[in-house]
A = this chain, B = another copy of it.
Amino acid sequence: MFKFKLEKTSGFARAATISTSHGKIKTPVFMPVGTLGTVKAMSPHELEESHAQIILGNTYHLYLRPGHELIRDAGGLHKFISWDKPMLTDSGGFQVMSLAALRKISKEGVKFQSHIDGSRHFFTPEGVIGIQEALGADIIMSFDECPPYPATREYVEKSLKTTLQWAERGKAAFKNAQKQALFGIVQGGIYEDLRERSALALMDMDFPGYSIGGLAVGEEKEDMFRITAFLNDILPADKPRYLMGVGTPSDLLLNIANGVDMFDCVMPTRNARKGSIFTRHGKMIIKAARYKEDFSPIDPDCGCYTCQHFSRAYIRHLISMNEILGMRLTTIHSLWFYQELMQMARAAILEDRYSDFLAEMLPVIDRVI
């Protein structure tokens, strides 16, 4: 069960509703990342309170620990982690590239050693679909090779060819289309012709949604925006577009302007745990001395649990002391803000004033306050 309904555009920015087996998702949407079956520091209840509509699990990590078979035996990832809203799993391609040791890529798949214990594993496009069927997320990904950056055009072209074959093989192996939607991943680095080739080939295979992979891996921001703008003209209007692993608040807003519907990133959660907190007024480094005796909330206008109950001085103290509650409170705020930013973007699209909204937010959203 998977539907995409485009509701409104404002420039190229899109507002849509995605329907899945576990409920609806209003876009643009930001998906908090639950790497190992938990969005770090958060309970499922708190995620709901933050207005998260869908969360992400990492296939590579969950395959290694606790193992997809254990999760299948538990009744699937939703039940295992007690989350009954939509969920997405990634392909493992990015983690195999960025984490695993001694990987060897062939046409057949990727042999790699676990970054945990050096144990040997083999990911094939069919196997990765099987793992994601065991996990049972509502939206799953084709196995891809995510080329490093920088990479030569030759490398990216060869890699792309393999990824397209894997997309075809994964789609053929996929048996659970009643309950899960399998997205194809557009690769091609920063090369427009390769991106076009990738997108057109995947569109020929007719996936219910398209991911944009291989960005935010070290390239210039201009290249990222250039590629999403370029793909906006190619990808079909009636399918969702998911930009993987992006990003800062301004990255999100600018890519929404390029027609992207879905995002995920560890940035709000990871930064929050270190005391770097996103707000609608900019980024707050809570350990800064000026917050030591500041008894006001992170954002006096914010409705989150953190801002309703605690001061900057207290949060600064907790983060400085490495207290778990400090990491919890900053994470709660940052995720609340990311969701609020998406709600504001959606409202602006529905009222066809997205470019005004963008112009208003960009000067403040990423600055350090």
In the assembled complex, A311 has its CB within 8 A of some CB on chain B: yes
A293 to B314, CA, bound (A): 40
A-B contact pairs, 20 of them (CB 8 A): A36-B323, A37-B314, A37-B317, A37-B318, A40-B324, A41-B324, A41-B325, A43-B325, A44-B309, A65-B321, A66-B317, A70-B313, A73-B293, A74-B313, A74-B314, A80-B311, A80-B314, A81-B314, A82-B314, A324-B328
Q: Is the beta-carbon distance between A38 and B323 smaller than 8 angstroms?
A: yes
Q: Report whether A43 and B328 are in contact in the complex, using a CB–CB cutoff of 8 Å.
A: yes
* Distance in angstroms between the alpha carbons of A328 and B311 in the assembled complex: 22
Interface size grouping (class) on chain A:
35 or more
A325: B residues at CB distance < 8 A? 38, 40-43
CB-CB nearest in chain B for A39 = B325
Indicate if A295 sits at the interface (CB-CB under 8 A).
yes
Q: For residues 299 through 336 of chain A, which have their beta carbon under 8 Å from a beta carbon of chain B?
A: 305, 309-311, 313-314, 317-318, 320-321, 323-328
User: Which residues of A in the span 64-102 have a Cβ within 8 Å of any Cβ on B?
Assistant: 65-66, 70, 73-75, 80-82
Q: Say whether A40 contacts B323, CB under 8 Å.
A: yes
Q: How far is the CB of A45 from chain B (nearest CB, A)?
A: 8
Q: Is B40 within 8 A of A82, CB to CB?
A: no
Q: Which 5 A-B pairs have the closest CB atoms?
A: A66-B317, A82-B309, A41-B324, A38-B325, A38-B323
- Residues of chain B within 8 A of A38, CB atoms compared: 318, 323-326
User: How far is it, in angstroms, between the C-alpha of A36 and the C-alpha of B73 when the chains are bound?
Assistant: 41
Residues on B with C-beta less than 8 A from A65 are: 317, 320-321
Asked whether any CB of chain B lies closer than 8 Å to the CB of A292, the reply is: yes
Given A65-B317, A74-B313, A75-B295, 16 extra CB contacts under 8 A: A37-B318, A38-B326, A40-B325, A42-B325, A43-B325, A44-B309, A45-B305, A65-B320, A66-B292, A66-B313, A70-B293, A74-B314, A80-B314, A82-B314, A324-B327, A324-B328
Chain B hits for A311, CB < 8 A: 74, 80
Contacts of A82 in B (CB 8 A): 309-310, 314
Set of chain B residues within 8 Å of A42, measured between Cβ atoms? 325
A81 to B325, CA, bound (A): 11
- Distance between Cα atoms of A160 and B324 in the complex (Å): 38
What CA separation (Å) do A65 and B325 show in the bound complex?
Answer: 16
Q: Which of A65, A295, A309, A314 has its CB near the most chain B CB atoms (within 10 A)?
A: A314
Chain B's closest residue to A70 (CB) is B293
**Please, how many angstroms separate the alpha-carbon atoms of A82 and B131 in the complex?**
44
Q: Which residues of B contact A321 (CB under 8 A)?
A: 36, 65
Proximity string of chain A (22-64) to chain B, C-beta cutoff 8 Å, 1 when within and 0 when not: 0000000000000011101111110000000000000000000
Q: What is the bound-complex CA distance between A73 and B318, given in angstroms? A: 17
* Assembly CA distance A295 to B305 (angstroms): 31
